[in-house]
Structure 1
Amino acid sequence: MSSENKLDQVYNRIIEQVADNMKSYGFPGTIGRVYAIIYFEGKPLDLDTLSEKTGMSKTRMSQVLREMAQINLAEKVFMKGSRKDFYDIDRDYYQNFISMFTSNFKSVVSRNKNLERKNIADLKQIIEDPSSSEEEKERAKAFINETQKSIEYFDWIDRLVEFFDSHEVFKYVPKKD
């Protein structure tokens, strides 16, 4: 096997490794493939080039890039002299981990806090409603207690996300130089 073929083989293995890693973070492998391709090109790439290199349609590639932008893994960049949209990635592995780790939790916390607010409002209505039985009021109070525990838990997750986003985590788990 020629050196060029071996290099291609290693390159393809790395691409798949990044795709598998992305899946372990809860994201589609396609995000990992696109990330790795841009990373190893060493420069921003346009939609046409990325579609060609991955075999994905432009529509699907556009969706993948939008997903990557939402989790702060890719951004649209201006390239002088071109009217095409180019995309680049943050090459900082640590920051990318933080972006992926925190993006899922941010949406979970937000969704659950909204739900908990609605639950508490409904439960308070039951407690204040003169037509509610004592049993219903007691169940509503028990649900409020559990909801308060849930709110504390999601507050903790929120603080954990901030711990990562602020890079405070590196004081306790430092990067290697």
Structure 2
Amino acid sequence: MESPNQKIDEARQEYIESLAETMEMYGLSPSMGRLFGIMFFHDEPMTLDEMRTQTGMSKTSMSTGVRALSRLKLVHKKWQKGIRKDLYEAEHDQFRSFVDFFAQQWEKEIEINQSSLRKTEQKLRALRDDPQLSEEDQEQILRDLEKLEQAKQYYQWLRHLVDAFESGNIFKHVPIPDKSDSF
């Protein structure tokens, strides 16, 4: 017969597995999702050894997973008096986690693509003045520059979206539901 603790763990497992799937959708490993899920349900901060016992993961992959989750602000390092090992706990504010995760991803996208966009635009503008280009090539360059202008507008919009997320203004437009609005 199953103990109450086993039944609780079994009940939690469905949500933990859905977190693993979700993490994979966002480019993270399912094991990181499981690790986050285990930490999400754990009431106290956990050591790497405790996490390893719960997940069966190696200490190396556990450490790598915790570092990645920490960078994404899904896991936080905690300090407790008298405990010498590093302790970690999951971020329980899923709204904050969502904001932090997506803002970081969008910041990366903006940084990577704006730099390339500027370099491409400079090269195309320099080419546009080349007297050896045919009229067809010059028209192509103008069309490409117009596409880059549209891309700049997108990154400007994305910058505003990141700002709205980071400042919390997004919640004025899409309010956090109160507890009675659960699905």
TM-score tier, shorter chain, comes to 0.7 to 0.9
Task: Tell me: CA distance 1:6–1:82, structure 2 relative to 1, closer, same or farther (3 Å).
Answer: closer
Q: Which residue matches 2:40?
A: 39
Q: Superposed, which structure 2 residues align to 1:79-158 within 5 Å? A: 79-158=80-159
Q: Which residue matches 2:168?
A: 167
**For each residue in 1:36-89, what CA deviation from the matched residue of structure 2 results, as whole angstroms up to 9, or x when unmatched?**
212222222122221221111111112111211221111223333333222222
Quick check: 1:43–1:88 contact (8 Å CA) kept in 2?
yes
**For each residue in 1:112-154, what CA deviation from the matched residue of structure 2 results, as whole angstroms up to 9, or x when unmatched?**
1111011101101101334433332222121111111011112
Please list every run of 5 or more consecutive structure 1 residues that lacks an aligned counterpart in the other structure.
none
In 2, Cα distance between the equivalents of 1:41 and 1:8?
11
Quick check: 1:25–1:100 contact (8 Å CA) kept in 2?
no
Number of residues paired by the alignment?
177
Q: Which residue matches 2:77?
A: 76
In 1, Cα distance between the equivalents of 2:151 and 2:38?
41
Q: CA RMSD in A?
A: 2.0
**TM value normalised by structure 1:** 0.87
Q: Which deviates more, 152-161 or 130-139? A: 130-139
1:22 aligns with 2:23: yes
In 2, Cα distance between the equivalents of 1:33 and 1:168?
31
In 1, Cα distance between the equivalents of 2:170 and 2:25?
21
In 1, Cα distance between the equivalents of 2:133 and 2:43?
66
**For each residue in 1:6-56, what CA deviation from the matched residue of structure 2 results, as whole angstroms up to 9, or x when unmatched?**
223112223212222333444332222112212222222122221221111
**TM value normalised by structure 2:** 0.85
Structure 1 letter corresponding to 2:91: D
Structure 2 letter corresponding to 1:64: G
Structure 2 letter corresponding to 1:94: F
In 2, Cα distance between the equivalents of 1:41 and 1:21?
19
In 2, Cα distance between the equivalents of 1:9 and 1:138?
64
Q: Which residue matches 2:181?
A: none
